[in-house]
Chain A
Amino acid sequence: MRTEDLIAELTDGLRPVRRLAPPGRRAALWLCFAALAVGSPVALFGLRPDLASRLALPHEAMQLAASLATGVLAAVAAFHLALPDRSPRWALLPLPTLALWLGSLGWGCMADAARLGPGALVLGTSWGCLRFILGLGVPLMATMLWALRHAGPVRPVPVVLLGALAAASLCSFGLSLFHRLDAAAMVLAWHGGATALMLLIGWAFGRPALIAASAVR
């Protein structure tokens, strides 16, 4: 087929389309939705009673702030990166806060070990954390991918990974507000592990899902 014939075919019977809103506004909308989704269980279970004293510890405050910032920045980056002409450098936006989040957890582990001895680093199980982050995070990620389905033919993998990171870190932030999990090593293992698992799920299933979703309009 000649390219000129293809153009004639595409322009024939052209229908008007509704232009997408600016990515910043769309990201803000999704973040409002995510705040509602993550805020509901927090409101249901109530804030953990010792939250104020936990926040007095610098690494705990840092950990909470960094997880929230990672979620917000990853979402903003995903909405920008989903557009063809935006710089791929948007993908770097959440990395500093992600490093800060992991760093504060590492710092917390060392502080626990110094205070309580090596026993503070022994891991227990906290399936609840994993269930909460995946149970809420996967649907939350799916809503973002639906909103970003136009990224399917453009940059599916970074968009999916940023979506997974945004959903997982916001869920981790919400969980930390009501769930008592004191040992930093446990938070690192279970919240960090759940986030890594979300990235893996996004990588394995997100790209085909995004491409399939982009076919539906």
Chain B
Amino acid sequence: MSTIEAVTMPKWGMTMTEGTITSWLVTEGDVIERGQEIVEIETTKLSNVVEAAAEGILRRIVLAEGTTAPVGALAAVIADESASEEEIAAFVASYADRQGEGLSGQSAGTSSRTIEVPGGQINLVEAGAEGGETIILLHGFGGDLKTWMFNQDELAAVGRVIAIDLPGHGGSSAVAAGDPVADILIRLEAALDTVAPGKLHLVGHSFGAGVAALLAGRRPDRVSSLSLIAPVGLGKTMNRDFLVDFVAAERRRPLQNVLERLFADPSKITSDMVEETLKSKRLEGVPECLSQLADAIADQTGQRISIGDTLTKLTCPVLLIWGDLDKIVPLPQAGEVPANARLQTIANAGHMPQMEAASAVNDAIVENIRRAK
């Protein structure tokens, strides 16, 4: 029997229930490469391109341009030449039968909850099934767990994926005054002991990657692999103006200007992304909190967090993923990458490769997780 792969309506974030096909970038009969951009989809909040998760021939387009369909619906079929037309038709029919069985609305297995730990609340979103690997996602400064909208469901293929709002961000409560980084570490450790007591694969972005590395240093026994996307803490240089301007931006236009520095292609920034960021920044106490954190990340002389020595002592696989056009935390210099870490650069991506080159980053993370075995 030939391998037949489904291209389905993706789920980009908790609130997405359906999407509309705006245009197909390939036609039936085209040879598709893994990672190739194949279809443009619009939701009520954003429009984005879906990359092929399989290679082969695009045998069938099921959802025509202009069609709106629920998350999980079959959009197209990729298979090689050996699959017969009958097999393709049977595959499409099997999907049609599944329509309406939990495909619409929030995908089964994705749930949001807030837990109490000493020092405050931690908000998190879980996806995927228990029993496989457990993957923890930690976003960067000023962000929240929605950073992982193009990653969490994809990574759920290998296990349970928990995206966490860092203290002082998203739905989690504020950080304590004094030493905010220490407070974040203590509360995250408590949260992880509650929700995911076994071995973990830690994935972090930017400041969240620094936090992930420090967590691994505190609890090396619990960490199976470490995937760090553009982490703070390896070098001394970073764009401190970004931190300061981000905290200061109270309105849409100034914030958009700041967010544009994160991406190699600023057109990836949607108005919804700007509004959602403003929403979290408007919450009482958040600006003060971010300001404290910004000071803890960098001062006039550069970065204040250091993870190099911590990483060197780890025995688990350590992967560094970096966009080659990162304008916030520049690519590490020779000598700044620990000997036990692998550095994978992503071409034409800025400080947010997990959004700008989602499938390449997802593949790299999955590969790093597999190395742990």
A binds B: no
- B→A interface (CB under 8 Å): none
- A→B interface (CB under 8 Å): none
